[in-house]
Structure 1
């Protein structure tokens, strides 16, 4: 999952970025409203953390522009203001949730997990398909109750697919959502990660749809017809 932080407070942005990266997210950061608007307008994010009091272009203006342009990614606004009118204005501008500074990083992570789940049509913090389970809170993966150890990149890829069960996902889409902007992206590594995940899971659940990408789907032990 890929997150955009738009925050001009460098210390706070660094704390958020470190916490999000440790939790398994790919993270981009913009320090002013103009850069933040550009990134949100041109890059695919699973969620955005948006400060309201930004230089160049304020958070409300950014959010209104995104929504008017049809951008639907979940947005969590940050504000140092306690006035209820600022919160209402942010929500009416298209925000999905808000946090008032100061806040605990654990709450930020929990709210982002909830926003991403809801955007993907998932209600529970524990994602399950067939015998495969992924706990978005702890980052643990298991098959039939037995723990499966994945690398950070393997977990990111599987988590994205778990949030989009049944959807055919291209290599390009996976690349865009598991790497941040500064990473030297190579879509060819996606196939390597997929093969490693298949071996570690030990079940036929990640299928190759030739010419299109991959699909996470469970039809029992006989579901191997689409797997390359």
Structure 2
């Protein structure tokens, strides 16, 4: 299996070097040089990003903010912080925010490769979490969605939203709660963003002449139907 790595690093020489080494090791690689483009790639990349190498000091959005937003979009994606700072407070802040590991720059490529192998070894040993509801099957670990036995492609955000509904199956969730938990508390958009993404999901996962799996609860929000 070829894993997909996103490198978020604003120093071109380092980014190019790490990218070259990872491609040599048979990884798929995407690169971003600032926080905003990193989030855009993370949300829309196909296939999904399997691990992120994230520099602490990057333009537009700092690494810590990017980390928090990525974990809201896709909590299970491993993130390794790359930082020139060896101050223990920075490392603790990164780990507390959800980072899975960190490497202090400068580093040897062999160390980075070893950290990646460890991440994926833990990942492959973890049990798969699969949800099945009527004709819908979602594998959170494999990041796959099937409707009536056919694979459908969801964006990162759509998949995160569907996962959120599945984890709150049968429970009415408000638009505000969905925004906080899926988009992140620092998201400054409007609640109708949720309505738009629910429409996108329904278009992809609902079958013709079937009741929608995602029920609108007037005046409150949404609920995933709890029927098999």
TM-score, L = length of structure 2 = 0.53
Which residue does the alignment assign to 1:41? 43
Task: Please provide the CA RMSD for this pair.
Answer: 2.6
Match runs of 1:40-189 below 5 Å: 40-43=42-45, 44-121=48-125
Shift of 1:172: 8.2
Q: Within 2, Cα distance between the matches of 1:84 and 1:61?
A: 18
Which residue does the alignment assign to 2:180? none
Q: Within 2, Cα distance between the matches of 1:41 and 1:60?
A: 17
Q: Would you say how many aligned residue pairs link Structure 1 and Structure 2?
A: 132
Contact persistence 2:71–2:77 (CA under 8 A): no
Q: String of CA shifts for 1:1-59, please: whole Å, max 9, x gaps.
A: 11100000000001100110000101000011100111112221111100010000011
Q: Within 1, Cα distance between the matches of 2:39 and 2:102?
A: 18
Contact persistence 1:52–1:77 (CA under 8 A): yes
Q: Within 2, Cα distance between the matches of 1:35 and 1:42?
A: 11
Gaps of 5+ in 2: 127-140, 154-228
Alignment partner of 1:21 is 2:27: no
Contact persistence 1:41–1:71 (CA under 8 A): no
Contact persistence 1:47–1:74 (CA under 8 A): yes
Q: String of CA shifts for 1:137-170, please: whole Å, max 9, x gaps.
A: xxxxxxxxxxxxxxxxxxxxxxxxxx97xxx9x9
Q: Within 2, Cα distance between the matches of 1:112 and 1:101?
A: 16
Shift of 1:171: 8.2
Q: Within 1, Cα distance between the matches of 2:152 and 2:119?
A: 23
Q: Within 1, Cα distance between the matches of 2:94 and 2:65?
A: 10
Shift of 1:82: 1.2
